[in-house]
Amino acid sequence: MARLGMVIDLKVCIGCQSCTIPCKSSNGTPPDIYFVQVHGREVGEYPNARREFLPVLCNHCEDAPCVEVCPTGASFQREDGIVAVNSDICIGCRSCDVSCPYGHRHYVKPGLLEEGYFNDQPELTKYEETKYKRWTESTVIKCDFCMDRVDQGLEPACVSTCPPIARHFGDLSDPESNVSRLLAERESYTLLPEAGTKPCVHYLKP
Protein backbone atom coordinates (compact mmCIF):
# COMPACT_ATOMS: atom_id res chain seq x y z
CA MET A 1 0.00 0.00 0.00
CA ALA A 2 1.29 3.43 -0.92
CA ARG A 3 2.37 5.78 1.83
CA LEU A 4 2.36 9.26 0.32
CA GLY A 5 4.72 11.83 1.75
CA MET A 6 6.86 14.85 1.00
CA VAL A 7 10.58 15.49 1.12
CA ILE A 8 11.75 19.11 1.33
CA ASP A 9 15.34 19.94 0.44
CA LEU A 10 16.44 22.76 2.74
CA LYS A 11 19.68 23.11 0.80
CA VAL A 12 17.87 24.58 -2.20
CA CYS A 13 14.82 26.26 -0.60
CA ILE A 14 15.17 30.01 -1.17
CA GLY A 15 12.10 31.16 0.76
CA CYS A 16 10.44 32.58 -2.35
CA GLN A 17 6.90 31.71 -1.16
CA SER A 18 6.13 30.09 -4.51
CA CYS A 19 4.60 27.25 -2.50
CA THR A 20 2.52 29.43 -0.19
CA ILE A 21 0.80 31.48 -2.87
CA PRO A 22 -0.24 28.61 -5.22
CA CYS A 23 -1.46 26.63 -2.20
CA LYS A 24 -3.72 29.48 -1.15
CA SER A 25 -4.85 30.11 -4.70
CA SER A 26 -5.58 26.44 -5.42
CA ASN A 27 -7.42 25.81 -2.17
CA GLY A 28 -9.08 29.20 -1.85
CA THR A 29 -8.64 29.34 1.91
CA PRO A 30 -10.26 32.24 3.79
CA PRO A 31 -8.21 35.27 4.90
CA ASP A 32 -5.37 34.55 7.34
CA ILE A 33 -5.55 30.77 6.82
CA TYR A 34 -2.47 29.30 5.16
CA PHE A 35 -1.99 25.57 4.77
CA VAL A 36 1.63 26.15 3.74
CA GLN A 37 3.96 28.59 5.46
CA VAL A 38 7.66 29.36 5.10
CA HIS A 39 9.50 30.49 8.22
CA GLY A 40 12.77 32.35 7.87
CA ARG A 41 15.53 33.40 10.23
CA GLU A 42 18.89 35.13 10.18
CA VAL A 43 21.88 33.03 11.25
CA GLY A 44 25.52 33.97 11.68
CA GLU A 45 27.07 37.40 11.93
CA TYR A 46 28.30 39.87 9.34
CA PRO A 47 30.05 39.25 7.02
CA ASN A 48 29.01 35.59 7.26
CA ALA A 49 25.32 36.11 7.93
CA ARG A 50 22.74 34.24 5.90
CA ARG A 51 19.04 33.42 5.79
CA GLU A 52 17.62 29.96 6.49
CA PHE A 53 14.11 28.84 5.61
CA LEU A 54 11.80 26.15 6.94
CA PRO A 55 8.64 25.39 4.94
CA VAL A 56 5.92 23.83 7.10
CA LEU A 57 2.57 22.17 6.42
CA CYS A 58 0.47 19.31 7.79
CA ASN A 59 2.78 16.36 8.37
CA HIS A 60 0.17 13.70 7.47
CA CYS A 61 1.41 11.64 10.39
CA GLU A 62 1.34 7.87 10.22
CA ASP A 63 0.06 7.83 13.80
CA ALA A 64 -2.11 10.91 13.56
CA PRO A 65 -3.42 12.04 16.97
CA CYS A 66 -5.95 14.31 15.26
CA VAL A 67 -7.66 11.25 13.78
CA GLU A 68 -7.63 9.35 17.06
CA VAL A 69 -9.31 12.10 19.10
CA CYS A 70 -12.00 13.12 16.58
CA PRO A 71 -15.37 12.17 18.14
CA THR A 72 -17.29 12.03 14.86
CA GLY A 73 -14.76 10.51 12.46
CA ALA A 74 -14.59 13.78 10.52
CA SER A 75 -10.80 13.63 10.70
CA PHE A 76 -9.78 10.54 8.81
CA GLN A 77 -6.81 8.90 7.14
CA ARG A 78 -6.97 7.47 3.64
CA GLU A 79 -5.33 4.18 2.71
CA ASP A 80 -2.53 6.12 1.00
CA GLY A 81 -1.79 7.96 4.27
CA ILE A 82 -3.33 11.33 3.46
CA VAL A 83 -5.03 12.86 6.50
CA ALA A 84 -8.13 14.90 5.67
CA VAL A 85 -11.34 16.31 7.14
CA ASN A 86 -14.94 15.59 6.16
CA SER A 87 -16.60 18.97 6.76
CA ASP A 88 -20.05 17.42 6.54
CA ILE A 89 -19.64 15.68 9.88
CA CYS A 90 -17.14 18.00 11.59
CA ILE A 91 -18.78 19.62 14.64
CA GLY A 92 -16.03 22.17 15.22
CA CYS A 93 -15.07 20.86 18.66
CA ARG A 94 -11.41 21.51 17.79
CA SER A 95 -10.17 18.40 19.57
CA CYS A 96 -7.97 17.75 16.54
CA ASP A 97 -6.53 21.25 16.77
CA VAL A 98 -5.57 20.75 20.40
CA SER A 99 -4.05 17.32 19.76
CA CYS A 100 -1.90 18.36 16.77
CA PRO A 101 1.65 19.03 18.03
CA TYR A 102 2.43 21.00 14.86
CA GLY A 103 -0.41 23.53 14.93
CA HIS A 104 -1.57 22.81 11.39
CA ARG A 105 -5.31 22.78 11.97
CA HIS A 106 -7.36 25.86 11.11
CA TYR A 107 -10.76 26.82 12.50
CA VAL A 108 -13.19 28.58 10.16
CA LYS A 109 -14.76 30.97 12.62
CA PRO A 110 -18.35 32.16 12.02
CA GLY A 111 -18.46 35.02 9.55
CA LEU A 112 -15.02 34.32 8.08
CA LEU A 113 -16.45 33.10 4.77
CA GLU A 114 -18.15 36.47 4.38
CA GLU A 115 -14.79 38.26 4.45
CA GLY A 116 -12.88 38.84 1.24
CA TYR A 117 -9.22 39.52 0.62
CA PHE A 118 -9.99 43.07 -0.45
CA ASN A 119 -11.49 44.91 2.50
CA ASP A 120 -12.51 47.90 0.40
CA GLN A 121 -14.94 45.76 -1.60
CA PRO A 122 -18.38 45.23 -0.02
CA GLU A 123 -18.95 41.89 -1.78
CA LEU A 124 -16.90 38.78 -2.39
CA THR A 125 -15.19 38.41 -5.74
CA LYS A 126 -16.30 35.65 -8.12
CA TYR A 127 -13.14 33.76 -7.19
CA GLU A 128 -13.96 33.95 -3.49
CA GLU A 129 -17.59 32.98 -4.04
CA THR A 130 -16.48 29.89 -5.95
CA LYS A 131 -13.62 28.78 -3.70
CA TYR A 132 -15.36 29.44 -0.39
CA LYS A 133 -18.05 26.91 -1.29
CA ARG A 134 -15.59 24.20 -0.35
CA TRP A 135 -15.46 25.32 3.27
CA THR A 136 -18.00 25.31 6.11
CA GLU A 137 -18.21 27.77 8.97
CA SER A 138 -17.47 26.49 12.49
CA THR A 139 -15.43 23.55 11.20
CA VAL A 140 -11.72 22.76 11.13
CA ILE A 141 -9.83 22.61 7.83
CA LYS A 142 -6.30 21.61 6.88
CA CYS A 143 -3.84 20.70 4.15
CA ASP A 144 -4.84 17.43 2.48
CA PHE A 145 -1.84 17.19 0.12
CA CYS A 146 -4.22 18.53 -2.58
CA MET A 147 -5.81 15.08 -2.66
CA ASP A 148 -8.13 16.09 -5.48
CA ARG A 149 -5.04 16.74 -7.61
CA VAL A 150 -3.33 13.57 -6.36
CA ASP A 151 -6.37 11.53 -7.39
CA GLN A 152 -5.92 12.93 -10.91
CA GLY A 153 -2.28 11.86 -11.00
CA LEU A 154 -0.98 15.37 -10.28
CA GLU A 155 1.35 16.65 -7.59
CA PRO A 156 0.23 18.94 -4.77
CA ALA A 157 0.13 22.58 -5.87
CA CYS A 158 3.06 23.55 -3.63
CA VAL A 159 5.25 20.88 -5.24
CA SER A 160 4.39 21.62 -8.85
CA THR A 161 5.20 25.34 -8.52
CA CYS A 162 8.47 25.20 -6.55
CA PRO A 163 11.09 26.96 -8.78
CA PRO A 164 14.25 25.44 -7.22
CA ILE A 165 12.57 22.01 -6.97
CA ALA A 166 12.97 21.90 -3.20
CA ARG A 167 9.78 19.89 -2.74
CA HIS A 168 9.37 16.26 -3.76
CA PHE A 169 6.23 14.15 -3.44
CA GLY A 170 5.77 10.42 -3.75
CA ASP A 171 5.40 7.01 -2.19
CA LEU A 172 7.55 6.60 0.90
CA SER A 173 6.83 2.85 0.98
CA ASP A 174 8.38 2.34 -2.46
CA PRO A 175 12.19 2.11 -2.16
CA GLU A 176 12.51 3.03 -5.84
CA SER A 177 10.46 6.23 -5.60
CA ASN A 178 12.14 9.63 -5.85
CA VAL A 179 11.36 10.51 -2.24
CA SER A 180 12.72 7.22 -0.92
CA ARG A 181 15.94 7.56 -2.91
CA LEU A 182 16.45 11.09 -1.60
CA LEU A 183 16.02 9.92 1.98
CA ALA A 184 18.45 7.07 1.37
CA GLU A 185 21.09 9.36 -0.15
CA ARG A 186 20.86 12.38 2.16
CA GLU A 187 20.71 13.01 5.89
CA SER A 188 17.22 14.04 6.92
CA TYR A 189 14.94 14.69 9.87
CA THR A 190 11.30 15.19 10.79
CA LEU A 191 9.81 17.81 13.08
CA LEU A 192 9.12 16.94 16.72
CA PRO A 193 10.05 13.24 16.48
CA GLU A 194 9.58 13.04 20.24
CA ALA A 195 5.83 13.43 19.69
CA GLY A 196 5.79 9.90 18.25
CA THR A 197 3.46 10.77 15.37
CA LYS A 198 5.73 9.45 12.58
CA PRO A 199 5.45 12.44 10.22
CA CYS A 200 5.39 11.86 6.47
CA VAL A 201 7.04 15.20 5.73
CA HIS A 202 10.82 14.88 5.82
CA TYR A 203 13.52 17.55 5.59
CA LEU A 204 16.85 17.05 3.86
CA LYS A 205 19.58 18.83 5.79
CA PRO A 206 21.40 21.70 4.04
pLDDT of residue 117: 84
Rounded Cα distance between 111 and 108, Å, is: 8
pLDDT of residue 169: 98
- Per-residue pLDDT band for 1 (boundaries 50, 70, 90) equals confident
pLDDT of residue 177: 98
Q: In the predicted model, what is the mean pLDDT of residues 187-204?
A: 98
On average, the pLDDT of the chain sits at 95
Q: What is the pLDDT of residues 47-94, one digit of tens each?
A: 899 899 999 999 999 999 999 999 999 999 999 999 999 999 999 999
Between 120 and 159, the higher pLDDT residue = 159
pLDDT of residue 25: 93
Annotate 31-93 with three-state secondary structure. CCCCCCEEEEEEECCCCCCEEEEEEECCCCCCCCHHHHHCCCCCEEECCCCCEEECCCCCCCC
What's the predicted TM-score (pTM) here? 0.94
Residue 97: closest CA among 62, 135, 66? 66
pLDDT of residue 93: 97
pLDDT of residue 122: 76
pLDDT cut 70: percent of the chain above it: 99
Domains and CATH numbers, the chain: 4-204 (3.30.70.20)
